[in-house]
Amino acid sequence: MKRFILLMVINLGLLSISSASAQKFDNLAKTPPMGWNSWNKFACNIDENTIKGVADAMVSSGLRDAGYVYLNLDDCWHGSRDANGFITADSTKFPSGIKALADYVHSKGLKIGIYSDAGRQTCGGRPGSLGHEYQDALTYAKWGIDYLKYDWCNTENVNPKGAYTLMRDALHAAGRPIVFSMCEWGQSKPWTWAKDVGHLWRTTGDIYNCFDCIDDHGSWKAFGVMQILAMQDTLRKYAGPGHWNDPDMLEVGNGQKVNQDRAHFTMWCMLAAPLILGNDIRTMSKETAGIILNKEVVALDQDTLGLQGLNFETKDSVQVWLKPLAGGDWAFCLLNATTKDISFPIDWQHYNFTDKEVSGRSTDFDRIKYRIRNLWTKKNEGATSSNKTVNVPSQDVVLYRLTPVKK
């Protein structure tokens, strides 16, 4: 009992210090985080051996070297709280404990993430962090955690801004730099207030493994790729280095068609979204690997300018997206969400455009000639001095990187 009282005194002391000086950790997530999360494929069916196998595969597949460095446990790793209120791991699933697992992940040159919830319980019914924020943050620091996904189930009468700020303060007080991923589903419009609280925040409800549909559960809905994409475009001014809009994890490799996966991955890169894989990378196909390991496409997402793309227009059922890139380059993407191939004429002068809302950058097609690089065929296709007509396959994309031609 004395030990418990002492711990509470320490927590209160940390709380009083943090209220005056706490902040989120700087110099993290300067580009959108890349990694893997257990939920989309495994849900609650995770254990120590599975996670170690994924860590091994992240190295052997080349994912780590491509930038996918965060290996994140989602819900259901938890055991109970001990007599003093500290969280423990499920001893059956993780008999060696999370610290040993973190050491293994770190030995592979990776970083490890963990999951909790701002409410009484997690979405999977495990202990949440409500009332234990400082204890949990201290535990994560002790274990060597690098990333925290913080969910929003069982949060009746909890204020989101207060809850997420409290956990931010707790993480800062614990002293270990941890990427803070806010999973509040966009309900309180966190993009308007969370720049100084989290490194990324969910903008919608959960993704559903479907290209263009809604999974309606009555009291809540999960959304397909196209539904989530439609919710992002008005949010671009809120994203940037260290503070990203998060349209949820990737479903690439979980059973959709290759063209749909390619379109899904492309649009997340155009959005400068976190690239958090959700497939079983231990057994992924060559087609899936070819998508998520396309370094030229990943480079659009990881561009140091750190800007989210925009939907310039929808014409003849094709969405035209533009994204300003570092060094004067632009990404130019045609997305065909329909079930038929579309022949699409490109008149470059039509896309003379100044991004007044965010970057101030102009395409200047009337005075700049760009070299055209097709990032999926990995072929050069001439220059913007000539108009062209391209075939945009059904539920697929044509993706170009445009680079100014030096005179």
Radius of gyration of the chain (CA): 22
Report DSSP state, residue 402: E
Q: Are 33 and 276 in contact (CB under 8 A)?
A: yes
Which tokens in the block code for residue 20?
């005056």
Q: How many C-beta atoms surround the C-beta of residue 378 within 10 A? A: 9
Q: Are 342 and 333 in contact (CB under 8 A)?
A: no
Q: Are 322 and 351 in contact (CB under 8 A)?
A: yes
Pairing of strands 396-404, 370-374: antiparallel
Q: Are 365 and 377 in contact (CB under 8 A)?
A: no
Torsion over CA: 183, 188, 189, 191 (sign) = negative
**Cα–Cα–Cα angle for 256, 259, 265, rounded to 5 degrees:** 80
Return d(Cα 205, Cα 4) in angstroms, integer: 38
**DSSP track, 19-68:** HHH--PPSSS-SS--EEEESHHHHTT---HHHHHHHHHHHHHTSHHHHT-
For the chain, the distance separating the N- and C-terminal CA atoms, rounded to the nearest angstrom, is 76
Phi (first) and psi of residue 287, to 5 degrees? -65, -45
C-alpha atoms less than 13 angstroms from C-alpha of 331 in its C-beta half-sphere: 35
In 197-305, where does DSSP find H-type helix? 225-230, 258-270, 286-292, 295-301
The residues annotated as belonging to the active site are 151, 206
Report DSSP state, residue 176: S
**H/E run at residue 323:** strand 318-324
| Helical packing angle, 133-143 and 160-174, nearest 10° | 40
